[in-house]
Amino acid sequence: MEDFELIEGYRRDLNKYSTWQLRYIPGPEIWSIGQMYDHLIAVAMEYLAYVQACAESTEEQPLGKTPNGEELFRRGSFPQIKIKLEGAQAASPNNALSREELDAGLVKVMGKMQEWESKLDGVHPDGKVRHGGFGWLNAQEWYRLIGMHFRHHLRQQAELEQRLLEQSSDI
C-alpha cells in the first residue's frame, strides 16, 4: 500500500470515531485510538526531521544498519509484535487532541512527505542519523520508515476498534 493512501486511510477512519471513542483507554498500558494517532504523527515528524538532518549533513557516515535494521529493511516492515517503548519514548501520547487536531497533524505529515519525496534522490546516501535500534540510517531509509511505522500500527488500530465494540456491547 502506498504511503499516502495509507495515511489517507487513517484520515478517513478518524471520521468514524466519536470523541469518546478517540479517548477511550481500554486498560492499563494500552493507548486510546487518539493516543495512537498522536504517536504516529509525532514519530513521523521526528523521522522527517531526521530526513532533513541527513540531507543537511556535511560528513559521510561509513557505518550502517544493525542486524535488526538490515532485517527490517529487507522485510520492508516491522515485525508483527507489540513493541514496548522505553525511556522518554514510553511516555503516554496526548489523549486530549480533537479529531480536527489529529487530522491536521496527518495532513502536515503528508505535506512534509510530499516536500521530501521529490528531493530524496538528490540526498547523499552517506549522510546518516543513528537510530537507537536500527543503526545508521540515511534520508531514504528514514523516509521509508515512516510508511513502515504507519503500517505497523494498523493491527493496533484493529485491536483498539475491537475493544471499542466489546465495550459498547457491555453497556
What is the DSSP secondary-structure string of 51-101? Answer: HHHHHH--S-----B-HHHHHHHHHTS--SS-----GGGGSPPPS---HHH
Structural domains counted in the chain: 1
87, part of any domain: no
Q: Encode pLDDT of 78-102 as tens digits.
A: 877 666 655 555 568 999 999 999 9
Q: Encode pLDDT of 99-140 as tens digits.
A: 999 999 999 999 999 999 999 999 999 999 999 999 999 999
SS3 assignment, position 28: coil
88, part of any domain: no
157, part of any domain: yes
pTM beyond cutoff 0.85: yes
Judged on CB neighbours under 10 Å (0-12, 13-18, 19+), 1 is: exposed
163, part of any domain: yes
pLDDT for 171 equals: 47
What is the residue range of 119's domain?
1-82+93-170
162, part of any domain: yes
Question: What are the cell numbers at 150?
Answer: 504507519
